[in-house]
Every structure is written in structure tokens, then in C-alpha cells.
DNA sequence: TCGCCAAAACTACCTTGGTAGTATTACCCT
DNA sequence: AGGGTAATACTACCAAGGTAGTTTTGGCGA
């Protein structure tokens, strides 16, 4: 059986996933294109990475027209949840307020963001 | 010169840092003790790891009484900030509300936590 | 049919984290 | 002084992420 693919991944892998998340099935060339511009990575680097990611169950490919078309197997949502929860557990004792408190102290937060946060809380409260 | 130590670290490294954060200067044995109980790691594993971490500038040691006494060089705060901001930037476009929204949807949040969150927002608003 | 070309396959190498065995050292006790 | 012992130093390995060159393959156009 397919084991749960670890949401944990490196930087390049995440960048690749992001490409796949918004340009759903994509060829190696397309992924390379989407990243390569600024990153200056070789085509083969992307191809190798995609193959490794397929081994880990993060993506899958099918062949079309003699070239591989890759597709994400894990959703952005799962990965985000995984990584966010990970930080939460590893550093903030699983407490969302602890995390938020830290972040409010250490970064700029616009009034609009505060509004949105407040709205989110209120909403959650209502949903309870 | 000593370059900015990357807050990014693996699991064991973080666990070791956590020990150092709350038992400030500690010998290898003490760190091992603090972790070893459940983890079953070899003494030398901890020693090796600490040496590697010293190379990366995460910790420093001095010798006392023929053994190394280690001390964290980066604060929990810095590391937390670093890792939290990292997730924020990499996955939530740097938007705290996006992160919170995601987390509120994907995990249990007690009423007390909601209270605390609300309080944090209000407080931040006042401080503005 | 033959060769070119693009894409995939294979191979290789480096770094870092993790894990630990073995060797060395140095102090202290008898 | 000699030996034991506890700590560090050294060495080795493995896995995964990252990076990319080289080889193979297969289809297509001349």
C-alpha cells in the first residue's frame, strides 16, 4: 500500500509542488520554465527531483506524447496543515495562541490583518 | 567572522536546543540524560551532534572540570520566529490570517484558546 | 533508412542530519 | 607509576535533498 507521503520536504520540492498546485498537470519543461527563470536550475535537476518526489509519493506522472506529465498527489492544504502543525507542535506546545502571540510580537501586522484575524476568531466561535 | 547560524534544524538538533534552553549550561551527559530516557540514543550520538551544532554556530562549549559544558548561542525566540516566519512565507504568502485560518479549520481549538486569541488581537490593536 | 534531437534514464557527487562504534587522552586512585 | 575510567576525538555509514553531467532511447523528418 501507499504509505502516507511525508509532508516534510525541502525547499526545491516545495517550490515544485507549488508549481504543480497551480498549473495542475505539467511537463518537466513546464515546471522548469516556471521555476527556472530566476533560479537558474538545470532541466535535469528538475527532472531528477521530480523522479525522487515520485518515489516519495508526492507526485505521479503519466506519459503523454512521449513526455512525462506530472501531477501532485498531495494537496496544498495537506502540506500546509502538516507543516503548520509541525511547527506548532515542535515549538509552541501545540498552542495556537502561543504561536500567534509570538508572531504578533515579531512581525508587522497591518490593521487589516488584525481585522481579519478578529473576524476569523468570531466566526470560529459562532461555528462552535 | 561567525555567520548567522541558520535557525533551520533537524529534529534531534531542535530537541537538544530545547534541553539547553531550559537547563542553560549543560554537559553532554546532562543533555543525553534529558533526552535519552525515551529516545534511547547513544551518548556518542549526542556528543557528535553537539559538535556538529557547534560548527554551525548553534551552540558553544567551554571546558569545566574536564568535560564540555554546552550553551545555546541562539535563543528559543529567534528559532521560533525563524521557523514560524519560514512557514508563513513559504506557505501562506506571509499572511498571518491565512495561517490562522488554516489552523483554525484543521485542528481543535478550545474556547479558552479562542479567548486568548481574541485577547491577543485586542491587545495588539491597543498597542498600535 | 539514417541520423538528429528531445526527453528520460542513469550515474555521480556534495551537504546535512542522524546514528554510533572505536580510538585516544588525561586524570585520579591505589 | 600503572591501570582504570570517563570524556572527547576520530571515523564511518546511511538517508535525503539538491544539483547536474552523460548515456540511452525512440520518434520524426530528410
The band of B5, judged by pLDDT with boundaries at 50, 70 and 90, is low
What is the tens place of the pLDDT at every residue in B32-88? 999 987 789 999 999 999 999 999 999 999 999 889 999 999 999 999 999 999 999
The band of B127, judged by pLDDT with boundaries at 50, 70 and 90, is confident
A125 and B114 within 8 Å at the Cβ level: the answer is: yes
- pLDDT number for residue A4: 60
Our measurement of CA B65 to C1' C27, in angstroms, reads 10
Say if residue B17's pLDDT is above 80.
Answer: yes
Residues of chain A with pLDDT under 50: 1-3
Question: Domain A1-94 belongs to what architecture?
Answer: Orthogonal Bundle (1.10)
A107 and B96 within 8 Å at the Cβ level: the answer is: yes
Residue B10 forms contact with A (CB below 8 Å): no
- Nearest nt to the B29 alpha carbon by C1': D7
Closest to B121 (Cβ–Cβ): which among A76, A99, A117? A117
- Percent of chain B exceeding pLDDT 70 equals 95
Distances (CA, A) of A3 to A7, A81, A110, A122, B108: 12, 18, 41, 38, 25
Q: Which CATH class is domain B11-72?
A: mainly alpha
Residue among A82, A18, A121, A8 nearest B100 (CA): A121
B102 and A81 within 8 Å at the Cβ level: the answer is: yes
A113 and B95 within 8 Å at the Cβ level: the answer is: yes
Say if residue B1's pLDDT is above 50.
Answer: no
Q: Which residue has the higher pLDDT, B24 or A87?
A: A87
- pLDDT number for residue B38: 77
- pLDDT number for residue A5: 65
Contacting residues of B for A11, CB less than 8 Å apart? 90
Domain locations along chain A: 1-94
Strand C footprint nucleotides (protein C-beta < 7 Å) = 6-12, 16-22, 26-27
- pLDDT number for residue B2: 44
Contacting residues of A for B108, CB less than 8 Å apart? none
- pLDDT number for residue A24: 84
| Alpha helix ranges (H) inside chain A | 11-22, 28-39, 43-55, 76-92, 96-106, 111-127
Say if residue B4's pLDDT is above 80.
Answer: no
B84 and A77 within 8 Å at the Cβ level: the answer is: no
- pLDDT number for residue A2: 44
CB B58 within 8 A of CB B74: yes
Say if residue B3's pLDDT is above 60.
Answer: no
**Element at B50 (helix H, strand E):** helix B43-55
Count of pairs with CB atoms under 8 A, one residue in A, one in B: 113
Please give the average per-residue pLDDT across B10-31, as a whole number.
96
Say if residue B124's pLDDT is above 50.
Answer: yes
Beta pairing class for B26-27 and B59-64:
unpaired
Residue among B121, B91, B123 nearest A119 (CA): B121
Amino acid at each position: 500500500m501507499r504509505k502516507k507521503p511525508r509532508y516534510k520536504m525541502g525547499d526545491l520540492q516545495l517550490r515544485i509542488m507549488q508549481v504543480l498546485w497551480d498549473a495542475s498537470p505539467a511537463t518537466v519543461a513546464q515546471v522548469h520554465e516556471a521555476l527556472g527563470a530566476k533560479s537558474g536550475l538545470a532541466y535535469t535537476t528538475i527532472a531528477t527531483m521530480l523522479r525522487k518526489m515520485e518515489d516519495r509519493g508526492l507526485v505521479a506522472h503519466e506519459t503523454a506524447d512521449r513526455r512525462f506529465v506530472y501531477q501532485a498527489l498531495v494537496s496544498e492544504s495537506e502540506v500546509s496543515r502538516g507543516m503548520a502543525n509541525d511547527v506548532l507542535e515542535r515549538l509552541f506546545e501545540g498552542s495556537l495562541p502561543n504561536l500567534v502571540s509570538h508572531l504578533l510580537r515579531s512581525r508587522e501586522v497591518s490593521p487589516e490583518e488584525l481585522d481579519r484575524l478578529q473576524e476569523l476568531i468570531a466566526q470560529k466561535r459562532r461555528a462552535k
